[in-house]
């Protein structure tokens, strides 16, 4: 019943803010009739984007965070709404400090005075899901204590159910509604927000990012992540190092301390692409509140990233596809862009390469026609994905996170240094990475790492061959051809096994290129086996 009352309350507020204006014209009549009270009780003193902003702010933390997420999807929202939602702030009224203290003591199993030498009763920050206070450990380290808001799990799950219902309504609102992929976006958001509600998960992400940049041993690491104090980490409590830095969007303060803004902006781009393509583990919530500039080591500009609850990873196929697409875009080879997306299943396999590449050319060329200072890498990526969605590209959560992060990165970079040419920084990085990934040495290294798996697969080949032959016999179709090809496949598999044995026993695969010969024969035999099936 509480969920029902909540739904009714939200519906009434939507009527008051005349959000019925956001319903597509092609929506079913029943959906339009649902908001019949809106003209009677609502007001249009503000424009639709401002009314939506106020509505989300009044509905609480979960709606505020969802609005923030949607503000990063200009490909899915009208320009006026996307622009207005960017004004959402994640600062909310703090909850009682005594309650905060009680939650810390309950979680850590001891009075605050026994754990900390100092404890600040006033919060440093208060966000939609958690609150942060400063403290000093008994050993002298300055730390921050992050604690989830009380009842936040119940509130989040309640509102997620409501948002899912709205998403389904949007999805049935004709072709315009389906284009938004609202259920998929909400499902992705649900997975993201639930991970944020586990501070042990955030602590693990923080440690991985810290290790990836060797923060413990390299004082000049381009990206610094705070130390996690694992003895004081719980599912609702996170204690980590208190950092000293300047908010990345405070350009005047960063400039005043003598930091090279151009180099700082370029380093930010390099950090992002390093995380995506080399580490395959990227901070996916890089808005200004989570990124700082170190106020030390001015000669070596350094970023400090906090709040690592949301991270992204890509599969090897996604990384290779993305790199190939971006390199092709840099070269304005639109046919290659289309071919890669079709071959890797980003769009329907029966998509016409000619038509798809023509659509990509239509949206990309006007962007390239702008002056160099106005070229936007993020705009290009958004346009590229928007075009792909017209050809039934499925929503991929990992790429949604990536798209959002690139938008944030370019925005931050240009706040620091408006003349930033992200293209000039990204292109050499991607081309170098691509060459390394596809070098003979790297390919052989990957082959050797996966050799044990290949041997396991080879062990199943005799049984698989017999099964295939039996199926052919039962079906009485091309039995002779199958029998003829099976020995070749088995012979090839044996050759592959020999090659794998050589690789596993050789410290340097490149030292014996001749071992590739049986491997090639084996791959050929396996191909014949597949053909026989």
Distance CA 62, CA 52 (A): 14
The contacts of residue 470 (CB under 8 Å, 6+ apart) are none
* Active-site residue identified among 20, 159, 285, 421: 285
Annotated catalytic residue 218: no
Number of Cβ within a 10 Å radius of residue 261: 19
- Each residue's pLDDT, cut to its tens digit, for the chain (533 residues) gives 666 677 788 888 888 888 888 877 777 777 788 888 888 888 888 888 888 888 887 887 777 777 766 665 555 677 788 778 767 655 567 889 999 999 999 999 999 999 999 999 999 888 778 899 999 999 999 999 999 988 888 888 878 887 777 777 766 765 555 655 677 777 777 887 888 899 999 999 999 999 999 888 777 788 999 999 999 999 999 999 999 888 887 888 888 888 888 888 888 888 988 998 999 999 988 877 788 998 876 777 889 999 898 888 888 888 888 888 888 888 889 899 889 888 888 888 888 889 989 988 888 888 777 765 666 777 777 777 777 777 777 666 677 777 777 777 777 777 788 777 777 778 888 888 888 888 888 878 877 777 787 777 777 777 777 777 777 777 755 445 545 555 555 555 555 555 555 544 554 444 444 444 544 544 554 544 455 45
pLDDT on residue 501: 53
Q: What is the pLDDT of residue 371?
A: 63
pLDDT of residue 495: 53
Block residue for tokens 């003598």 = 258
CB atoms within 10 A of CB 5: 9
Measured CA to CA, the distance from residue 315 to residue 244 in angstroms comes to 35
pLDDT value at residue 484: 54
Domain ranges of the chain: 2-89+152-195, 249-438, 440-532
Dihedral sign computed on CA atoms, order 360, 366, 369, 375? negative
Residue length of the chain: 533
DSSP character at residue 226: P
Torsion sign (Cα): 244, 247, 250, 251: positive
3-state class (DSSP) for residue 311: strand
Q: What integer pLDDT is reported at residue 137 of this predicted model?
A: 96
pLDDT given at position 518: 47
Q: How far apart, in whole angstroms, are the C-alpha atoms of residue 148 and residue 128?
A: 9
Question: Which residue from 465, 527, 520, 468 is spatially nearest to 495, judged by alpha carbons?
Answer: 520
Cα distance between residue 318 and residue 379, in whole Å: 20
Largest CA distance in the chain: 83
pTM for the structure as a whole: 0.71
pLDDT confidence of residue 455: 73
Terminal alpha carbon distance of the chain:
57
Cα–Cα distance for residue pair 183/191, rounded to 1 Å: 12
Residue closest to 68 by CA, chosen among 92, 86, 84: 86
pLDDT at 418: 78
Packing angle, helices 377-390 and 397-416, rounded to 10: 160
């Amino acid at each position: 019943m509480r969920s029902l009352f909540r739904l009714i309350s939200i519906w009434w507020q939507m009527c008051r803010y005349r959000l019925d204006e956001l319903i597509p014209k092609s929506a079913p009549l029943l959906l339009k009739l649902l908001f019949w009270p809106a003209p009677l009780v609502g007001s249009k003193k503000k424009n639709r984007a401002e009314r939506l902003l106020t509505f989300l702010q009044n509905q609480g933390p979960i709606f505020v965070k969802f609005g923030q997420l949607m503000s990063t999807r200009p490909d899915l929202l009208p320009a006026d709404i996307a622009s207005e939602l960017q004004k959402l702030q994640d600062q909310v009224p703090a909850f009682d400090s005594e309650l905060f203290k009680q939650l810390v003591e309950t979680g850590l199993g001891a009075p605050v005075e026994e754990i900390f030498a100092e404890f600040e009763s006033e919060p440093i920050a208060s966000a939609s899901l958690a609150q942060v206070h400063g403290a000093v450990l008994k050993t002298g380290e300055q730390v921050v204590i992050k604690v989830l808001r009380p009842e936040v799990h119940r509130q989040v799950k309640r509102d997620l159910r409501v948002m899912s219902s709205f998403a389904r309504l949007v999805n049935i609102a004709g072709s315009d509604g389906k284009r938004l992929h609202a259920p998929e976006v909400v499902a992705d958001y649900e997975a993201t927000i639930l991970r944020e509600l586990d501070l042990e998960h955030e602590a693990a992400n923080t440690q991985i990012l810290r290790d990836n940049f060797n923060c413990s041993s390299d004082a000049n690491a381009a990206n610094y992540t705070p130390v996690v104090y694992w003895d004081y980490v719980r599912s609702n409590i996170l204690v980590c190092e208190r950092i000293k830095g300047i908010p990345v969007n405070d350009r005047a303060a960063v400039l005043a301390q003598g930091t090279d803004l151009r180099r700082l902006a370029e380093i930010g781009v390099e950090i992002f692409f390093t995380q995506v393509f080399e580490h395959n583990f990227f901070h996916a919530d890089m808005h200004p509140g989570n990124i700082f500039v170190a106020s030390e080591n001015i000669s070596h500009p350094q970023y400090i990233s906090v709040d690592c609850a949301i991270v992204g990873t890509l599969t090897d196929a996604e990384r290779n596809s993305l790199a190939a697409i971006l390199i092709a875009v840099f070269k304005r080879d639109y046919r290659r862009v289309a071919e890669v997306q079709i071959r890797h299943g980003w769009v329907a396999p029966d998509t016409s390469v000619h038509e798809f590449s023509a659509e990509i050319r239509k949206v990309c060329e006007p962007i390239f026609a702008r002056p160099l200072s106005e070229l936007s890498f993020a705009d290009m990526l958004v346009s590229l994905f928007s075009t792909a969605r017209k050809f039934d590209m499925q929503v991929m959560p990992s790429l949604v996170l990536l798209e959002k992060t690139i938008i944030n990165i370019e925005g931050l970079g240009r706040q620091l240094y408006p003349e930033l040419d992200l293209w000039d920084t990204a292109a050499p990085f991607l081309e170098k990475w691509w060459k390394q990934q596809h070098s003979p040495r790297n390919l052989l290294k990957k082959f050797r790492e996966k050799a044990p798996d290949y041997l396991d697969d080879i062990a199943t080949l005799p049984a698989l061959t017999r099964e295939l032959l039996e199926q052919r016999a039962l079906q009485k179709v091309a039995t002779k051809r199958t029998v003829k090809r099976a020995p070749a496949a088995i012979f090839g598999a044996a050759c592959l096994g020999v090659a794998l044995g050589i690789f596993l026993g050789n410290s340097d695969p490149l030292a014996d290129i001749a071992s590739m010969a049986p491997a090639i024969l084996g791959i050929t035999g396996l191909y014949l086996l597949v053909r026989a099936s």
